Amino acid sequence: MDLNELRESGHQMFRRDLLQNKVIVITGGGTGLGRAVGERYLQLGAKLAIASRREEVLQTAAQEMTKDGGEVFYKTCDVRDPIQVAELFDAIYAHYGKVDILVNNAAGNFISPTERLSVRAVDAILNIVLHGTFYATLELGKRWIDQKQSGTMLNIVTNYASSGAGSGFVVPSAVAKAGVLSLTRSLAVEWAKYGIRQVAIAPGMFPTEGAWSRLVPSAQIGERLMNRVPLHRTGTMSELANLAAFLVSDEAGYINGEVVTIDGGEWLQGAGEFNELSTLNPEDWDQLSAMMRKK
Ligand code: HXC
Ligand code: NAP
């Protein structure tokens, strides 16, 4: 996945001031999809705050992201720790004076047969994805409600959460992301009266170093996964970033509690009983058609 491609394409579909002066917090914003989304937000006039555990990653990302201008504030924060989450928002409010949008993007995941997981391994994922997202949402939501400030929260889930199917071999992630989707929909109703909007994106396959090193450790697994995608390709950073820009913008102001799946049709592949027939070639179909018409 190429950040140059992201920088050179795509943002033209938006007004350059779409996110002008919006202060946007992205957890896990120093790497992968979080960084790509942040780059697009900057191009559209936003001011960013990125947070994760590794300071050197955040520092490098902030430097690279601002080489053509814009502002990226960064602070280390382990979202599993509610005290660090509160300190993060204290620091962002001290720096920018406000927050308009939160992107809950930080996550952990790896493939494993579930019976091989230790309790600590389960907690490692649930604590980042479910608890971390809840802590950030709660901390900022309380501040917005106290200040009578409206805002938008975007949660990054996965297509196995939005389909409702879950997935074997990434069960802690499936369970946690389903919980985050429930949080999205529950608060879409409960906090709407405060002007707080909730949206989610459910990506399919977007090759990032973080995800691929833990989920696609061999070319063979990659090939198998790719065969599940009707469009037969992975998603691009630009495609995901554009969706993330639209959903948090004021232009999407009537979208509340919705999750948008962006996966090339992958989740539907397993849903239709006859979808497997897409592997047949025209000769196979000639033969089958002749057999059926005989009867
Ligand atoms: C089995 C594992 C394991 C593995 C770790 N553990 N990796 N068990 N298989 N591959 C176990 C450890 O043995 C330990 O249990 C427990 O998990 C905690 O491990 P730590 O290394 O101490 O955890 P921690 O330092 O908190 O790191 C969390 C992490 C790590 C999730 C394990 O991978 C991480 O930091 N990930 C962050 C980034 C990330 O995962 N990005 C991908 C997101 S992609 P014991 O009992 O031995 O102590 C994504 C996309 C989904 O979500 C869809 C894609 C198509
Ligand atoms: P990634 O680069 O590994 O991103 C995960 C980020 O979360 C990292 O920046 C990491 O930074 C941060 N993080 C992890 N644990 C944290 C903690 N305890 N506290 C704070 N930050 C923490 O992977 P990615 O592929 O871009 O994933 C981004 C999001 O997209 C995730 O929500 C993931 O579930 C979702 N997603 C990705 C795909 C895909 O195909 N790539 C598909 C579906 C969904 P530190 O290590 O510095 O903390």
Provide the pLDDT for residue 99. 98
The residue-averaged pLDDT of 76-92 equals 98
* Mutation to probe ligand 2, out of 6, 25, 27, 31 (largest number of atoms < 8 A from CB): 31
Structural domain total, the chain: 1
Interatomic CA distance for residues 17 and 151, integer angstroms: 18
Positive or negative, the CA dihedral 251, 256, 262, 265 is negative
| pLDDT surpasses 90 at 247 | yes
- pLDDT bin (cut points 50, 70, 90) of residue 10 is low
Residue nearest to atom 28 of ligand 2 (CA): 33
Measure 12 CA to ligand 1 centroid, in angstroms: 37
Task: Return the CATH number at 241.
Answer: 3.40.50.720
Interatomic CA distance for residues 55 and 222, integer angstroms: 31
Measure 52 CA to ligand 2 centroid, in angstroms: 9
Among 35-39, 47-51, 269-273, which stretch is predicted with the lowest mean pLDDT? Answer: 269-273
Provide the pLDDT for residue 3. 80
Provide the pLDDT for residue 295. 65
Q: Which atom of ligand 1 is nearest to the CA of 160?
A: 53
Q: Which ligand is nearest to the CA of 228?
A: 1
Q: Which ligand is nearest to the CA of 210?
A: 2
Residue whose C-alpha is closest to residue 237's, from 25, 34, 69, 15: 34
Residue in the structure block whose two tokens are 């106290």: 146
Interatomic CA distance for residues 21 and 71, integer angstroms: 10
| pLDDT surpasses 80 at 5 | no
C-beta separation of 104 from 85 below 8 A: no
Domain range holding 165? 3-294
- pLDDT bin (cut points 50, 70, 90) of residue 4 is confident
Residue in the structure block whose two tokens are 């897409």: 278
| pLDDT surpasses 80 at 294 | no
Residue in the structure block whose two tokens are 């602070």: 75
Give the list of residues 6+ apart from residue 115 with CB closer than 8 angstroms, or none. Answer: none
Q: What is the mean pLDDT of the chain?
A: 96
